Amino acid sequence: MKALFTIINNMDRRYIFLAMVIAVILPLIKPLALPVKITPNTQSSFDVIDSLAPGSKILLSFDYDPASSPELQPMAKAVMTHCFRKDVKMIAVALWPQGPMMAKKAFESLSSDPEFSGKKYGVDFVNLGVQPSYVAVVKGMGDSIAGVFPTDFFGNKTTDFEIMKGVKNYRDLAAIFSLTTGSAGIGTYVTIANAQYKTIVTGGCTAISSLEYYPYLQSKQLIGLVEGLKGASEYERLVKKPALATAGMDVQAVVHMMLIFFILLANVSQMIVGKQK
Amino acid sequence: MDKMALFNGFLIIFFIVLFVLLIVMGQTLRTSLFLRRKLPLAFCFIMGVTMIFQFFIPPENSLYKEIEDLSTKWIQIISSFALVIGLISLVTMNFNKISRKYEDWQYSIVLLLGFFITIFYGLRDGFEGKEFDFIFNYMYVPMQSTMFSILAFFVASAAFRAFRARSREATLLLTAAVIVMLGRVELGSVIWSYIPVVSRYFDVSELAQWINTVFTTAGQRAILLGASLGYIAASFKILLGIERSYFGSEE
Amino acid sequence: MPLFMLGLNFKPVFETGGAVSVEGIGIWIAALLTLGIYSFLYKDNFVYKFSEYLFVGISAGYTLVLTFHKYLKPSLIEPLQEYSRDFYHIITSSSFPVVNPWMLDWQTQLIANKFGTQFQFIFWFTFKIFIFYLFPAILGLMMISRVIPSAAWLSRFPLATIVGYGSGIVIVTTLHASVLEQVKASFVSFAPLLHMKGIDWGIIAQSANDFILVFGLCCAIIYFYFSAEHKGVILGPASNFGIWVLMITFGASFGYTVMARISLLIGRFQFLLGDWMQLVK
């Protein structure tokens, strides 16, 4: 018995890697189709968008790069689907250099969907791109969005777009939805846009940074938070369009169980081997 | 159109001459303590105090708009130049590596090839170009997301090796982690329903949510308050010139 | 699993007509790069190194393209072009329309003789261009002087400007949003408990949660307070409970970290098994 646990204790980590790969592949090939339960944070974020009148405009901020795209890209698509259906217009900006490319990909994949064939760039959605120094960007948009982003991502003049008619700064926006990873994003919008201009801020983030925003949730400076892949799958369910995040949650469940098993196994073997020493 | 090209040429030459003048000035005046230390600190102080002052002006006031407009433009332009330094040093470092045949110099060729091909298509077509899109979608995206996803394997191996209940605190940490991991996936609720008695009163996802809204919020808020106060104190030190490590290693 | 191994149906590189499919090639390249990077898990090797350097190169290239097209062009080069063109049109009284709203305003004032002499106009124009564009550009060039060691000290000016700007904003916004608002939100109200009619478990639970939240927060702050030794009847147990709260926080954070990392891995395998091998829809 002790020998077995000693082997387990000193196992080469590559076996763990292999177990991970198997635990990821199997549920992808044979989905478990687990139900998706909606958590309160996702629901309140959904409600913010859902309560907007048709034709109102939101700022959709793409504050992430490809590294976080498995979590945030499905979320972005679900939120955009919701906005398109509600006829809420989206002004996309980014605080991360790669954000505009992610926005471009999301818009391209949604506009190829026959459901949204009527949605036009510059009318229902515009991609203003990115500017350096995110604090200056978020601060500057309080005065003038077109001042911070003189052109869109592709070099066209911002003020020429129909969607920008009547939009000067945060006061003309119904809400801000930030898709965040890392330091630039929800935190910046809460501390500047919400604190100074009282704009409603909501958003989604990677699971890794979501707990950072819980104090802002409790103080209602941030209304709702879509957390990680789980949150994305919930949003997909809320807009009734299950996609990659929903499929991914099956895998997530299996890998979590495996990791919990590993943690327990390691602790048991530690106890047995440690005691007999 | 011709005049525009002439103007662009003039602009480029103007900036080059300006840069050379600046360098010459920098080399001749480098002994002046006033220029080296006092004037930059004055810049920092004036800039910071102006930004603080601006918060106390109503946004409808024209002075507010002027400051906002001017400061945002300044910071945007300066930050854009700042990005260039990193690129210059990356390219020169790799050229050096190749010319001196340091270890792994062959890979530097790959790096420079990737760099120049990307900027060739990027500068030529902007962000709408097919080739640039191809490089981004089929090379940049998969490589970056794969590099970050490798961390999943190391997290798993760390969970196996380091996550041991050695003390009361460590047990608390471990229990919280396991409950959250169970509570955030639906399979967790399925397994939880097999646990007698407690499963009748609440679900593991509710338990995880409760931990987050009560304990984690308290802990995160304590960290946030501490960090924010530290941040504010550090900012004051910078404004007053007490903290000037950003000046570089000489001082 | 030999069964699905036999059924492999990789993304084709050629379309049905025989033409090369750009998407197919792209997916193959992406898949090979992905596998190349994963080979690092077995051990460090040249395929991994190749991908790593290529990634840094492309990433730097992306930054440069972005800096030129999205940062410098719209915020420095294009305004300079536009202003100079308008200036030229106004000075030469040409019939070309003036584009910039600011210049348009000045032009009307000039025509209505409200601006003063042409010399005054030239002076204000130069002043505006200098303050808004040339001065930050000079600071930017000073930043680049960092690459020449003997003139590197010039970079202190732009750095001081950026750092000063950031500090000024941080002091007010952080104090407002992350300190005062957070403290305000911690003053929870227990009034519903007093006005409760009969026993309402919802209100009791809410109040209990609020109490734990505030009590936990105070204890955690006491733990962070290092000016007095954590001993005695109050500070000792309080800082101990503070440690527990923080441990639960870190545990939950670890759980979320694991979750986030696995999500990224899932994303990659969805690509490999879906787009490339076409095993999953």
Q: Are residues A131 and A82 in the same domain?
A: yes
Q: State the amino acid at position A236 in one-letter form.
A: E
Give CA separation, C96 vs C36, C88, C90, C99, in Å: 58, 10, 9, 9
* Cα(C22)–Cα(B134) distance, integer angstroms: 8
CA–CA gap between residue A178 and residue C132 (Å, rounded): 30
CB < 8 Å & 24+ apart, contacts of B16-19: B18/C137, B18/C138, B18/C141, B19/C141, B19/C144, B19/C145
- A35 belongs to a structural domain: no
* C116 lies in the same domain as C233: no
Candidates A83, A74, A85; CA nearest to A109 is A74
Q: CA-to-CA distance for B83 and B77, rounded, in angstroms? A: 10
d(CA C145, CA A236): 50
Q: Is the pLDDT of residue B120 over 90?
A: yes
Q: Check pLDDT > 60 for residue B250.
A: no
* Domain-ending residue, one of C140, C164, C189: C140
Instruction: Quote the pLDDT of residue A77.
Output: 96
Q: What is the largest CA-CA distance in chain A?
A: 77
C179 in a structural domain: no
DSSP strand E in A149-218: where? 175-180, 201-205
Specify burial of residue A182 (Cβ count, 10 A radius: 0-12, 13-18, 19+).
middle
Task: Enter the tokens of residue C212.
Answer: 């734990």
Pair A66, B141: CB distance under 8 Å? yes
Q: Which of C140, C159, C176 is the last residue of a domain?
A: C140
**DSSP characters over A44-65:** HHHHHHHTSPTT-EEEEEEE--
Class of residue B68 by CB neighbours under 10 A (exposed 0-12, middle 13-18, buried 19+): buried
Give the number of domains in chain C: 2
Mean pLDDT of A34-39: 89
Do C203 and C222 touch, CB atoms closer than 8 A? no
Question: What does the alpha-carbon distance between residue B164 and residue A239 come to, in Å, rounded to a whole number?
Answer: 41
Q: Mean pLDDT, chain C, as a whole number? A: 88
Phi, psi of A12 (to 5 degrees): -65, 140
Report the C-alpha gap between A144 and B73 in whole angstroms. Answer: 12
Per-residue pLDDT at C198: 81
Chain B CB contacts of A260 below 8 Å: 178, 181-182
Select the residue of A29, A150, A219 nearest C4 (Cβ to Cβ).
A29
Mean pLDDT is highest, among B2-6, B107-111, C15-19, for B107-111
Q: Is residue A186 part of a domain?
A: yes
pLDDT tens track for C161-199: 999 999 999 999 999 999 999 999 999 888 888 888 888
Instruction: Give A-chain residues touching B182 at CB under 8 angstroms.
Output: 256, 260
CA B190 to the chain's CA centroid: 40
Residue A60 placed within a domain: yes
Q: Name which of A36, C172, A216, C234 is nearest B53 in CA terms.
A: C172
Same domain assignment for residues A118 and A83: yes
Q: Where residue A277 falls among pLDDT bands split at 50, 70, 90?
A: very low
Structural domain contains residue C13 = yes
Residue C235 burial by CB count (10 A; 0-12/13-18/19+): exposed, middle or buried?
middle
Residues A96 and A11 in one domain: no
Q: Residues of chain B with pLDDT > 70: what percent?
A: 98
Q: Are strands A175-180 and A125-130 parallel, antiparallel or unpaired?
A: unpaired
* Rounded CA separation A145/C262 (Å): 37
Quick check: is C166 in a domain?
no
pLDDT at C242: 93
Is residue A188 located within the same domain as residue A269?
no
Query: Of the given ranges (A31-35, C45-49, C237-241), which has the lowest mean pLDDT?
Result: A31-35
Confidence of residue C5 (pLDDT cuts 50, 70, 90): low
> Of C112, C140, C168, which residue sits at a domain end?
C140
The tokens for C119 are 């010399």
Residue B8 has pLDDT above 90, yes or no: no
How big is the CA angle at B231 (ends C153 and C252), to the nearest 5 degrees? Answer: 125
For residue C31, which residues of chain B lie inside 8 Å, CB to CB?
142
Question: What is the C-alpha to C-alpha distance for residues A182 and A208, in angstroms, rounded to an integer?
Answer: 9
In the numeric block, which tokens belong to residue A101?
Answer: 């490319």
Domain count, chain A: 2
Kindly determine whether residue A211 and residue C260, on different chains, have CB atoms separated by under 8 Å. Answer: no
Nearest-angstrom CA–CA distance, C193 and C209 = 13
Q: Which chains touch B (3 or more CB pairs under 8 A)?
A: A, C
pLDDT value at residue B1: 55
Residue in A closest to B133 by C-alpha? A101
A65 min Cα distance to partner chain B (Å): 8
CB contact under 8 A, C260 and A192: no
CB contact under 8 Å between B137 and A68, yes or no, is no
Q: Which helix (DSSP H) or strand (DSSP E) does residue A157 occupy?
A: none
Tell if the CB–CB gap between A14 and C178 is shorter than 8 Å: no
B80-98 burial code (b ≥16 CB/10 A, e <16): bbbbbeebeebbeebeebe
A96 half-sphere exposure, CB direction, 13 A CA radius: 24
The least confident of B205-214, B223-232, C44-53, C94-103 is: C94-103
Residue (of B229, A169, B246, A59) closest to C165 by Cα position? B246
C112 and C204 assigned to the same domain = no
Closest by CA position to C4, among listed A25, A252, A20: A25
- Above 50 in pLDDT, residue C1? no
Q: Both tokens of residue C133?
A: 């564009």
Nearest to B118 among C58, C160, C251 (CB): C58
Confidence of residue B180 (pLDDT cuts 50, 70, 90): very high
The whole-angstrom separation of Cα B1 and Cα A56 is 41
CA C255 to each of CA A51, B72, B180, B250, C202: distance values in angstroms, whole numbers, following the listed order: 33, 39, 6, 43, 28
The reply to whether A107 and A22 lie within a common domain is no
pLDDT of residue C7: 59
From the list A186, A195, A252, A181, the residue with the least C-alpha distance to A45 is A186
- Residue A225, SS3 per DSSP: strand
Q: C255 or C194, which is more confident?
A: C255
Contact B181 A215 (CB under 8 A): no
CA distance B123 to C1: 48
CA distance C267 to C247: 30
Please indicate, yes or no, whether residues A172 and A269 belong to a single structural domain of this protein.
no
- Altogether, the residues listed in chain C come to a count of 281
Which residues are paired to A179 by β-bridges? A62, A204
Q: Are residues A73 and A120 in the same domain?
A: yes
Task: Reply yes or no on whether the pLDDT at A91 is more than 50.
Answer: yes
Angle CA B84–B90–B91, to nearest 5 = 90
| Tens-digit pLDDT profile for residues C96-145 | 788 787 788 888 887 777 777 778 888 888 998 999 999 999 999 999 98
Please count the other Cβ atoms lying within 10 Å of the Cβ belonging to residue B209. 18
Q: Hey, what long-range contacts does C112-118 have (CB within 8 A, 24 or more apart)?
A: C118/C91
> How many percent of chain A have pLDDT more than 90?
78
- Co-location of A50 and A110 in the same domain: yes
Measured distance CA(C238)–CA(C218) in Å, rounded: 8
What is the domain range of residue A72?
40-242
Same domain, C19 and C112: yes
Which of C65, C92, C174 has the highest number of chain B CBs within 10 A, making it the mutation to test binding with B? C65
pLDDT at residue C17, rounded to an integer:
78
Q: Which residue of C has its CA nearest to B221?
A: C217
pLDDT tens digits along A132-157: 989 999 999 998 999 999 999 998 99
Domain containing residue A158: CATH number: 3.40.50.10160
Mean pLDDT of chain B: 90
Q: Which of B198-212, C3-17, C91-105, C265-279 is least confident?
A: C3-17
Six-digit token pair at A136?
Answer: 């200056």
My answer on whether C103 and C36 are in the same domain is: yes
Helices (H), ranges, C99-155: 101-111, 118-129, 135-144
% of chain A at pLDDT higher than 70: 99
Region C60-83: mean pLDDT is 91
Decide if C1 is inside a domain: no
The predicted model gives B20-25 an average pLDDT of 92
Instruction: Please indicate, yes or no, whether residues A226 and A260 belong to a single structural domain of this protein.
Output: no
How much is the pLDDT for A34?
86
C-chain residues within 8 Å CB-CB of A104? none
| DSSP 3-state of C99 | coil
Q: Does the CB of A195 have a partner CB in chain B at under 8 Å?
A: no
Which tens digit of pLDDT belongs to each residue from A170-196? 999 999 999 999 888 999 999 999 998
Residues A24 and A70 in one domain: no
Q: Which residue of A has its CA nearest to C1?
A: A26
What is the pLDDT at residue C3? 47
Verify that A188 and A261 share a domain, yes or no: no
Q: Residue A184 falls within a domain, yes or no?
A: yes
With respect to residue A229, please indicate whether it lies within any of the assigned structural domains.
yes
Domain span at residue C70 reads 8-140
User: How many helices (H) does chain A have, and how many strands (E)?
Assistant: 13, 6
**A19 & A141 share domain:** no
Judge whether C53 lies within some domain.
yes
Start-to-end CA span in chain A (Å): 13
Mean pLDDT, rounded, for B158-175? 87
Asked, for residue A227, whether it belongs to a domain, the answer is: yes
Which pLDDT score, from 0 to 100, does residue A275 have?
59
C-alpha distance across the termini of chain B, in Å:
50
Cβ distance B118 to C10 under 8 Å? no
Q: What percent of chain C has pLDDT over 70?
A: 97
- Are A244 and C270 in contact (CB < 8 Å)? yes
